[in-house]
Amino acid sequence: MQCPVLAVDAQRPAAEAIARAAEILRSGGLVAFPTETVYGLGANALDANAVAKIFVAKGRPATNPIIVHVATIDDANNLVSVWPSIAQRLAERFWPGPLTLVLPRAACVPDAVTAGGPTLGIRMPAHPVAHALLQACRLPIAAPSANRSTELSPTLPGHVLAGLGDRIELLLDSGPTAGGIESTVLDLTTNPPRLLRPGLATIGEIEAEIGPIDRGPSDARIARSPGQMRRHYAPNTPIEVVTKSKARVAELTEQGLRVGWMTHMDGERLAAVKITLPSDAIGYAAQMYAALHQLDDASLDRIIVEMPPEGDDWLAIHDRLHRACVGA
C-alpha cells in the first residue's frame, strides 16, 4: 500500500503538513522529505528503533552509517564529542547547505546511526521544508537518500514512491530537488581533512575556505567510508560511460539493442531514447538522476552516457557515474 503524500510548497511549507510529519517522526516512524540535494528518508536520530527501520526499508547494510540533519550549529555540537574550530568555520561558510562533516560522535548518538563506528556525519540542510521539519519536531533527523540501497537517488517525489512508497508513513512532496546530487562528505578527524564523498559543495569551494584537503585516490576514499560499497547510485539497466558515445550508440542500435543515450553535447538523433543534459556541472547534476531514472524506466537494453568534462566541478558527477557502472 502506498503511503500518504502531502504536497507542500517548497518555499513556504504549510504548518499543518509539517506538524503531521513531525508527529510521525516523534512517534518513531519514517517520513520522506525534500532536501536541497535529494529526497531523504528521515527518522528520529536519537531513537535506535526508528533508525533501525531505515535500514530495513532501504535494505541497507548495517555497516553503512547515516547522516544526521540538524537545525542549528548548537544542535550539531550536542551530537559530537569535539567541535574543532575548522568545523565551526566550515559550518559558518557552508551551512545550511550540502556539506556533511564527519566528527567524533557523542555518547547520546545510537550505534545504529554510526554503524557502530566512532564518528558521526552531520549537516544542516538548506531546503525550507527540511528546515521547517527539523524545527517542528525538535529532533535531529537521521536521513539517507530515500532510495533502496545501491539504487539511483531520488530527486522527484515519484522516485521515492516507486522505491519506498509501501515502506514509509508519509512523503512530503515539494517537487524536484534543486541540487540533484548528494552532499559532499568531509572527514574532519584527519589532518588535513579528507574527502570521503565528492558532492554538491565542490573541492574548490572547500579549499578556498580551509586550504588544501586530502582528496585521496578514489579507492582509498571508498575504503575509508565503511559503508560505501562500490556499486551504488546505479540503474537496473546496464550502463556504460564512454568518450565517443555517438559511435557506441550507433553500434549497439545496429545490433538491434534498444539504447538510451544521455549526453551533454548537441548533435543529431539516432534511433535511441536520447536525453540531452546541460553542459555546465550544476545544471548537469540537477538533472542527472532524473534522466537516469527516466531511461531506466524505458525498458531499454543499455544506457550509454557521454563522458562528462574533467575538472573539480565535475568530480561528484564522475564519482556517481563510475559507481553506477560497477557490476553493470
- The minimum distance between CB 113 and ligand TXA, in angstroms, equals 8
Site string for ligand TXA, 79-108 (x = CB under 6 A): -------------------x-x-x------
CB 14 within 8 A of CB 128: no
Enter the C-alpha cell of residue 260. 538510451
- The minimum distance between CB 182 and ligand TXA, in angstroms, equals 4
Query: Which of the listed partners (ligand TXA, Mg ion, none) does 177 bind, with a CB threshold of 5 to 8 Å by partner kind?
Result: none
Q: Which of 150, 202, 225, 287 binds ligand TXA (CB under 6 A)?
A: 225
Closest by CA to 185, choosing from 194, 197, 193, is 197
194 — phi, psi (to 5°)? -120, 135
148 — phi, psi (to 5°)? -65, 150
Nearer to Mg ion, 145 or 287 (CB): 145
Query: Which of the listed partners (ligand TXA, Mg ion, none) does 66 bind, with a CB threshold of 5 to 8 Å by partner kind?
Result: ligand TXA
Among positive and negative, which fits the CA dihedral 76, 93, 97, 196?
negative
Q: Tell me the three state secondary structure of residue 66.
A: coil
Residues 103-122 that bind ligand TXA (CB under 6 A): 114, 117, 119-121
Residues 258-317 that bind ligand TXA (CB under 6 A): none
Strand partners, 173: 7
Nearer to Mg ion, 114 or 145 (CB): 145
80 — phi, psi (to 5°)? -125, 160
Return d(Cα 220, Cα 144) in angstroms, integer.
22
Question: Looking at 22-30, 86-94, 220-228, 275-283, which segment touches ligand TXA (CB under 6 A)?
Answer: 220-228
- The minimum distance between CB 182 and Mg ion, in angstroms, equals 6
CB 246 within 8 A of CB 254: no
- Residue 177 sits in the site that holds ligand TXA (CB under 6 A): no
- Residue 145 sits in the site that holds Mg ion (CB under 5 A): yes
- The minimum distance between CB 43 and ligand TXA, in angstroms, equals 12
Site string for ligand TXA, 7-46 (x = CB under 6 A): ----------------------------x-xx-x------
Q: Tell me the three state secondary structure of residue 121.
A: strand
Strand partners, 90: none
- The minimum distance between CB 169 and Mg ion, in angstroms, equals 20
- Residue 319 sits in the site that holds ligand TXA (CB under 6 A): no
Q: Which of 150, 174, 183, 287 binds ligand TXA (CB under 6 A)?
A: 183
| Number of residues lying near ligand TXA (CB under 6 A) | 27
Beta strand pairing status for 184-187 and 99-104? Answer: parallel
Please name the residue that has the C-alpha cell 576514499. 221
Q: What are the residue ranges of helices labelled H in 181-244?
A: 203-210, 218-224
Closest by CA to 1, choosing from 124, 198, 168, is 168
Burial 178-201, CB ≥16 within 10 A → b, else e: bbbbbbbbbbbeeeebbbbbbbbb
- What residue ranges bind ligand TXA (CB under 6 A)? 35, 37-38, 40, 64-67, 98, 100, 102, 114, 117, 119-121, 143-145, 182-183, 185, 196-197, 225, 227-228
- What residue ranges bind Mg ion (CB under 5 A)? 145
